Amino acid sequence: SREIRLKSRPVGLPQASNFELATVDLPAPGPDEVQVRNLWMSVDPYMRGRMYDRPSYVPPFQLGQALQGGAVGEVVASNDPDFKPGDIVSSMFGWREYYNASPKALAAGGLGAITKLDTHGIPPQAFLGVVGMPGLTAYVGLLRIAALKDGDVVFVSAAAGAVGSVVCQIAKLKGHTVIGSAGGPEKVAFLKSIGVDHVIDYKATPDVVAELAKVAPKGIDVYFENVGGVHLEAAINSARPFARFALCGMISQYNETGKPEGPPNIIQAVGKSLRLEGFIVSNHVDMFPQFAKDMAEWIKAGKITWKETVEEGVERAPDAFVKLFTGENLGKMLVKLA
| Partners of 71 in the β-ladder | 41, 91
CB 223 within 8 Å of CB 246: yes
- Per CB under 6 A, the segment of 2-10, 24-32, 113-121, 321-329 that binds ligand NDP is 321-329
Distance in angstroms (rounded) separating the CA atoms of residues 46 and 98: 23
What is the per-residue DSSP string for 39-105?
Answer: EEEE--THHHHHTSSS--SSPPPPTTSB--B-EEEEEEEESSTT--TT-EEEESB-SBSEEEE-HHH
Q: What are phi and psi of 140, to 5 degrees?
A: -65, -45
Told to check if 325 binds ligand NDP by CB under 6 A, we report yes
- Nearer to ligand NDP by C-beta: 45 or 73? 45
Told to check if 187 binds ligand NDP by CB under 6 A, we report yes
Told to check if 317 binds ligand NDP by CB under 6 A, we report no
Cβ contacts of 210 within 8 Å, gap of 6 or more = none
- Nearer to ligand NDP by C-beta: 19 or 306? 306
Report the site for ligand NDP in 131-170 (rule: CB under 6 A).
134, 137, 158, 160-164
Residue 22 CB, shortest distance to ligand NDP, in Å, is: 26
Residue 181 CB, shortest distance to ligand NDP, in Å, is: 7
- Kindly tell me which residue out of 168, 248, 299, 322 binds ligand NDP, with binding defined by CB under 6 A: 248
Told to check if 212 binds ligand NDP by CB under 6 A, we report no
- Per CB under 6 A, the segment of 31-39, 89-97, 177-185, 259-267 that binds ligand NDP is 177-185
- Kindly tell me which residue out of 18, 238, 329, 335 binds ligand NDP, with binding defined by CB under 6 A: 329
- Kindly tell me which residue out of 183, 238, 244, 320 binds ligand NDP, with binding defined by CB under 6 A: 183
Cα→Cα distances 54→60, 214, 257, 319, 322, Å? 7, 41, 15, 24, 21
The backbone region for 201, taken as left when phi is positive above 0, alpha when psi lies in -120 to 50, beta otherwise, is: beta
Report the site for ligand NDP in 46-75 (rule: CB under 6 A).
46
- Please write down the HEC assignment for all residues of 267-316: CHHHHCCCEEEECCHHHHHHHHHHHHHHHHHHHHCCCCCCCEEEEECHHH
- Kindly tell me which residue out of 142, 252, 295, 311 binds ligand NDP, with binding defined by CB under 6 A: 252
CB 105 within 8 Å of CB 79: no
Dihedral angle computed from the Cα positions of residues 274, 203, 303 and 41, in that order, rounded to the nearest 10 degrees: -100
Give the number of other Cβ atoms within 10 Å of residue 110's Cβ.
10
Residue 294 CB, shortest distance to ligand NDP, in Å, is: 18
- Please write down the HEC assignment for all residues of 19-36: EEEEECCCCCCCCCCEEE
Q: Looking at beta carbons, which residue is closest to ligand NDP?
A: 161
Residue 158 CB, shortest distance to ligand NDP, in Å, is: 4
Told to check if 182 binds ligand NDP by CB under 6 A, we report yes
Per-residue contact string for residues 96-135; x = within reach of ligand NDP by CB under 6 A: --------------------------------------x-
Name the site residues for ligand NDP (rule: CB under 6 A). Answer: 44-46, 134, 137, 158, 160-164, 182-184, 187, 226-227, 248-249, 251-252, 279-281, 324-325, 327, 329
